[in-house]
Amino acid sequence: MIEHNVDLSASNTLGLACIAERVATPRCRAALSALVRDGHTGRGPLTLLSGGSNLILPERLPGLTLRPAMTQWWLEPRGNDAYVHVGAGVNWHGLVMALAERGWWGLENLALIPGHCGAAPVQNIGAYGVELADALESLTLMHLDDGRFQRLGVDECDFGYRESLFKTELDGRVVITDLTLRVSRAGRARLGYGDLASRLSPAPTPWQVAEAVCAVRREKLPDPAELGNAGSFFKNPVVDGSRAQALRQAHPDMPHFALAEGGVKLAAGWLIDQCGLKGWRSGHFGVHERQALVIVHHGGGSAQELLAVAAQVAARVRDRFDIELEREPRLAGMLDVDERASLA
């Protein structure tokens, strides 16, 4: 079933006003296949919309918006381990908490990340030292050109820091329908990132770790239901060792994290904060007062205004630190905006 002129204002965590020309919400693989077979996916622009937590929507979204709604998940136990088979429309946080409550290790550090499971591989979501790639076994996708289903193992997804094959070679060409994740009863807490360890006993349960993660995130991040936002608006930049060393000499308190594959990850929020932008506001958007990495929506305004504000933030960081910040949320539709604006 295709709906026309659908209001998506409540379907994106930024709370941007948006009317979609056509929307389809397939609840199973057969329904998705029918959309391809009947030619709906080939009629003009196509946008994939999951939980709307990492997407910037225009006021008018042309073409077809596809919202996969496969909402079943189940466990396949294998001794102390298990595979979790998850439909694309399953709420990510709900899944994490359900598994943690049952005593399964693997996803607890990724609690309270908004959105649905089908979008998780696109961004390779991550938090507190853990990424989706650490728990993913495989996924199933459908090619939009011919309706062909394909299974990819984790090593075939080209995962990186907030990157994947689905943002490059397969961008706009496939729909992820379900995931297979690995969890274990014999896991252990991963508490080396942030202040998680200080909040927990020496031998916490998965549920206790997930609850601690939720507490930290609630302290630092605004609730999208109360103040529109897309979580982290910028990626944490990665620089080489010599550049990081020079920055540390000038800023001894600068947070940094050495990567196993080389390079040093910096904290984009710290860089923005050092520019005096925490709590700064311009029009309908601004930098969150507690977490500078988050751009918030105060109501009204448009995607173009949001991107212009983000560009001003990035310009200030570039001017002070000579570091380029890269936007995390993806653009939907045909947005025409100059992201090179300078801070007014």
Residues designated as active site? 162, 232, 328
Site of tokens 């659908």: 6
Q: What is the Cα–Cα distance from 67 to 32, expressed in whole angstroms?
A: 10
Q: What is the Cα–Cα distance from 299 to 38, expressed in whole angstroms?
A: 39
Residue 92 near residue 113 (C-beta atoms within 8 A): yes
Q: Within a 13 Å sphere around the CA of 182, how many CA atoms are in the beta-carbon half? A: 14
Q: What is the Cα–Cα distance from 33 to 52, expressed in whole angstroms?
A: 23
Name beta bridge partners: 295.
Answer: 287
With a CB cutoff of 8 Å and minimum separation 6, the contacts of 293 are 232, 233, 234, 267, 268, 269, 272
Q: 205: which DSSP letter?
A: -
Angle formed at CA 11 by CA 39 and CA 7, multiple of 5 degrees: 70
Q: What is the Cα–Cα distance from 309 to 62, expressed in whole angstroms?
A: 24
Distances (CA, A) of 311 to 122, 207, 215, 271, 304: 23, 39, 30, 14, 11
**Where does the chain have alpha helices with state H?**
29-37, 92-101, 120-123, 206-220, 241-250, 268-274, 303-321
Q: What is the Cα–Cα distance from 16 to 49, expressed in whole angstroms?
A: 14
With a CB cutoff of 8 Å and minimum separation 6, the contacts of 103 are 185, 205, 206, 207
Q: State the first-to-last Cα distance of the chain, in angstroms, to the nearest integer.
A: 47
